[in-house]
Amino acid sequence: MSFWKRPDIVKKIQNQIDFDKIEAIRIEREGWLTSKHWSKKLQLFEKLPELESTVAEIDEFNQFADWVTVGNPELLKTSSNHQAIEKLAEELMPWRKGPFRLCGLEIDAEWRSNLKWNRIQPALGSLTDAKVLDVGCGNGYYMFRAVTQAPEMILGMDPSVPFLMQFELIQKYARRPELQYELLGAEHLSFFHELFDVVLCMGILYHQRNPLAIMRGIHDALVPGGITLIESQIIPGEESIALFPEDRYAKARNVFFVPTTSCLENWIRRSGFESVELVSVERTTTDEQRKTRWSTFESLEDFLDTNDSELTVEGHPAPLRAAFRAQKKQ
């Protein structure tokens, strides 16, 4: 059951969410799922084996720290069950974020998202009883990691049907009532008003045509004193400037602004945040982003200059990643 359907939760947050606008978007985007392509995949969900209708214990998630581990491996001992779970997981490729252990099936995604989580998690502090938002949540890997810390609720936003289906496959066996996924984009942050204690915004700013508007939306969605963790690709340099690629960056067309560390910090401060703290700066390597059985398309090794790994194939600085923690004024 999603927390939208829990009267105890809705009663507390009804003045902080524009439910009518969310419902309008939901109705519009449910049409995406009725296309011939996705309706066939939805039929595969109907063939999945069932578990008892109980909530997965948190200990199940913690059994393998870096792997989100859900479901009983005994399910895979039956040939038909194994085929049903593995076939759907394969149909939902590529898996960008992970890793997951799903009823014993290991899904080693393109990104070893556990490395990023381990870098940023200490800066988040306690999430106990917190309302958490993950903007651009992908398949929900960080939501499943955060749920181990007993938050009141976690909302993931991402306008991607493939990611939603990956999330639903994991959630079928995780069965965590704290988790909710909506096909909303970062541009829909205005639907939320001083609701969240923590907002995660990781790996999406450089895809935005107006990154400051997104950060202002995060600011307005936070309660006074709430914190955000903003993580983004950056370029090296001391000046407060941003790269605006003429065409592509690392073969991606949807990259608009890649700032330096100081530029990103200025964006955060000018969006109204205080107590801005640099958490980490890391160079992206093939240890963290690479092709796997579950993501066979091009990956980092294909995006870099073959003669100089510090440059992209277009000649831009190769991606670094910076993470900042910031707080909304009390």
Side-chain-side CA neighbours of 153 within 13 Å: the count stands at 19
- pLDDT, tens digit, 9 for 90 and up, residues 123-139: 999 999 999 999 999 99
Question: CA of 89: how far to CAs of 51, 106, 112, 170, 174, in Å?
Answer: 17, 10, 17, 10, 15
Q: Are 72 and 63 in contact (CB under 8 A)?
A: no
**What pLDDT score does 11 carry?**
76
Give the mean pLDDT of the chain. 92
% helix, strand, coil for the chain, step of 5: 40, 25, 35
**What pLDDT score does 239 carry?**
96
Closest CA to 99 of 84, 82, 83, 116: 116
**What pLDDT score does 79 carry?**
86
**What pLDDT score does 57 carry?**
53
Instruction: Say how far apart CA 230 and CA 189 lie, in whole Å.
Output: 15
Write the CATH number of the domain with boundaries 3-33+109-328. 3.40.50.150
Distance of CA 39 to the CA centre of its chain: 24
**Overall average pLDDT of the 194-204 stretch:** 97
Question: CA of 195: how far to CAs of 9, 12, 198, 222, in Å?
Answer: 12, 10, 9, 6
DSSP 47: T
- pLDDT, tens digit, 9 for 90 and up, residues 50-93: 875 445 555 555 544 789 999 888 888 888 888 999 999 999 99
- Domains of the chain by residue range: 3-33+109-328
